[in-house]
Amino acid sequence: MSLLEVKNLEVAYGGIQAVKGINFHIDQGEMVTLIGANGAGKTTTLKTLVGMLKPKSGSVTYDGHDCSKLPVYDFVKKGLSLVPEGRGVFSRLTVEENLRMGSFYRNDEAEINKEIDYVYTLFPRLKERYKQLAGTLSGGEQQMLAIGRAILSRPKLLLLDEPSMGLAPIIVQQIFDIIKMISSQGVTVLLVEQNAKLALEASNRGYVMESGKITMAGDSRELLDSDAVKKAYLGE
């Protein structure tokens, strides 16, 4: 059974039909990517998956349960965590306070402390700045912090929205290396990215989204070799 299954999902807001009857699934342990140009409906899809937007029609089933009536905070408790576009850190809290916000519903303090130490091993730069206000960090450091905060929620399914946006190439590679490491440890990942090459190289399977519809789907290697994907997204 799929960990996440989306059927005939339609989402509209402000009079705009942003998502037009899409279908996709993610199996336990996979890293799946959703690629597409700006305005394709990718972020809208992610926001709907975590309850921030309500679908016009269709269904979202996560871990065997219908998600349509769950409040947003329950998604985190059930192991579904979003790292939003633009990072969304709490700028007036310190690095460590931000990490602890990821564990807001937990009361296992010893385990939380161990997992904070684990995040610091993944991102040594955060350990160096653990008392620093998050708003004073660089863009790359804020992205590291947003991912670290999501780890503290113990996700079964980690949703990442444009993690490479606005970052220098060397930082992007570091972020993707960490995402692949997280995936290799059993966390299921849905990666939304404009950098199609990096996303497809990192993932098992991919979906291509255009104007609110999924137009292609398949093994990531096959999509990388597709002439249509090369022309539209890889500049070849």
pLDDT tens digits, 10-68: 999 888 899 999 999 999 999 999 999 888 999 999 999 998 999 999 999 999 888 87
- Quickly list DSSP for 27-62: -TT-EEEEE--TTSSHHHHHHHHTTSS--SEEEEEE
- Here the CATH number for the domain that contains residue 152 is 3.40.50.300
**What pLDDT is attached to residue 236?**
61
Sheet containing 57-62: order of strands: 16-26, 4-13, 57-62, 65-66
If DSSP codes are grouped into helix, strand and coil, which group holds residue 147?
A: helix
pTM of the model: 0.94
The one-letter code for the residue type at 16 is I
Using alpha carbons only, what angle is made at residue 162 by residues 18 and 83, rounded to the nearest 5 degrees?
A: 95
Domain total of the chain: 1
Residue with tokens 């996303």: 199
Domain that holds residue 188: 4-233
